[in-house]
Amino acid sequence: MFSEKMEAAINSQINAELYSSYLYAAMGMYFEAIDMSGAGKWMDAQVQEELMHAGKFMSYVNERGGRVILDTIEKPPVEWSSCLAAFEAALEHEKKVSALINELVTMARDEQDHMTDNFLQWFIAEQVEEEASVGEVTRKLRLVGTSGGGLFMMDRELSARVFTPPAKEE
């Protein structure tokens, strides 16, 4: 069992991961509405990834003998001024999630909870990948600007993303 404080913090992170999936679902629906179905597909993969993250946290709480307490998920925005603005918002959101994970690591180390610290290292590496992935799309969209042809090509590129769950750990 781990501390009540750590259990509550991880439950809060579960909520943050579920909100992330909800936010990306809203972005995906925005992209569908503006005829950027490739970007919508990219966000669909992101939704699955965030749900997998929430599931990993839930399993960990259960493995440690804690109790998962699900909370209300805040309503996400549903409109952005452009494809670029939505991806910029996604990048800022990923940076926020990275900060939340870093706070959990700090708490685990302060409590000398080495098991939780070890568990969280996967998420630290994952957040590097998350920020890099969204950052790359954002940089490309800045280069494209409002060019219709460029946006068409970006949308086609974004449609190639597929969610692949990580291999089961043993």
Task: Show me where the domains of the chain are located.
Answer: 4-158
Would the pLDDT of 148 be above 90? no
pLDDT confidence of residue 31: 97
Q: For residue 157, which of 39, 28, 26, 32 has the smallest C-alpha distance?
A: 39
Q: What percent of the chain shows pLDDT beyond 90? A: 89
CATH says 4-158 is which class? mainly alpha
Q: What is the pLDDT of residues 89-118, one digit of tens each?
A: 999 999 999 999 999 999 999 999 999 999
User: Is residue 58 a contact partner of residue 14, using CB atoms and an 8 Å limit?
Assistant: yes
Would the pLDDT of 133 be above 60? yes
pLDDT confidence of residue 13: 98
Q: How far apart are CA 61 and CA 80, in angstroms?
A: 35
Average pLDDT, stretch 1-13? 95
